[in-house]
Amino acid sequence: MTLKSLMKSIFFVEIAQGLKLTFTHFFKKKITVQYPHEKLELADGYRGFITQRRYDNGQERCVGCDLCEAICPAKAIRVVGDIHPEFPDRRYAKEYTLDFTRCIFCGFCVVACPVNALSMTKEFAHSSFTREGLIYSKDQLLALGDRCESESISYLKIRNMWGAEDSGKDEGRYHFPPISATQSGG
């Protein structure tokens, strides 16, 4: 032990340095966000709860193609597609359930969807007393979509999935015309 290091330990130099550091942090601005009282603003690309979307006239977009079910890595989505009862040239999802207890919020289903029927919101605080309560049916997903329409659209835009309806970048994304238009035409 050299004289210098001996003096250092006798006068607690290193401990004093540590004390000084903690004391300066005592007066620093605190980084805590008091969550329920104040909330951070989430980015547009935030992957929150998944929604189902409608066309402007209220027609649901989903065509029951099963692509989201196929790509889902957590096997959270179940789609039962069927021929639309009123319009035999159309398909739709007779049943569509999304199990949020399994969902890993990766957003693959939104990417896979050819008609932009799925999008993601900024909601993340859904909770339930039962497991069944977090398995959302098609109606619940549509209701969520109605409530968070602007968030869904901004998600699709920021993720370059806003297709033919706008001057979007992803022109290859197929756009089914709304059913009412088809009906009037044929």
Partner 1 sequence: MLNDLASAVIVIVAVLFVLLTTIAYLTYLERKILGFMQDRLGPMEVGPWGLLQPLADGIKLVSKEDIIPTAANVAIFKIAPIISLVPAIISFAVIPFGKNSFHFLGITTHPYITDINIGILYVLALSSIGAYGLLLGGWASNNKYSLLGALRSAAQVISYELNAGMAVIGVLLLAGSLSLVRIESAQSGGFWHWYIFPQIVAFVIYLISGIAETNRTPFDLPEAESELVAGFMTEYTGMRFSLFYLAEYGNMVMVSCIATILFLGGWNSPLPFLDFVPPFLWFMLKVYFFLFFFFWIRATLPRLRYDQLMKFGWKVMLPLSFANVIVTAIVVYMIRR
The one-letter amino acid at 88: P
6 lines the binding site for partner 1 (CB under 8 A): no
Q: Degrees (nearest 5) of the Cα angle 119, 159, 42? A: 75
Q: Tell me the closest approach of the beta carbon of residue 125 to partner 1, in angstroms.
A: 17
Q: Tell me the closest approach of the beta carbon of residue 122 to partner 1, in angstroms.
A: 25
- Single residue of 7, 19, 83, 104 touching partner 1 by CB under 8 A: 19
1 lines the binding site for partner 1 (CB under 8 A): no
Report the alpha-carbon distance of residue 178 to residue 59 in Å, rounded. Answer: 7
34 lines the binding site for partner 1 (CB under 8 A): yes
- Single residue of 2, 3, 4, 31 touching partner 1 by CB under 8 A: 31
Report the alpha-carbon distance of residue 4 to residue 181 in Å, rounded. Answer: 88
Structure tokens at 39: 């909330």
The one-letter amino acid at 103: C
Residue ranges in contact with partner 1 by CB under 8 A: 15, 18-19, 21-23, 25-26, 28-32, 34
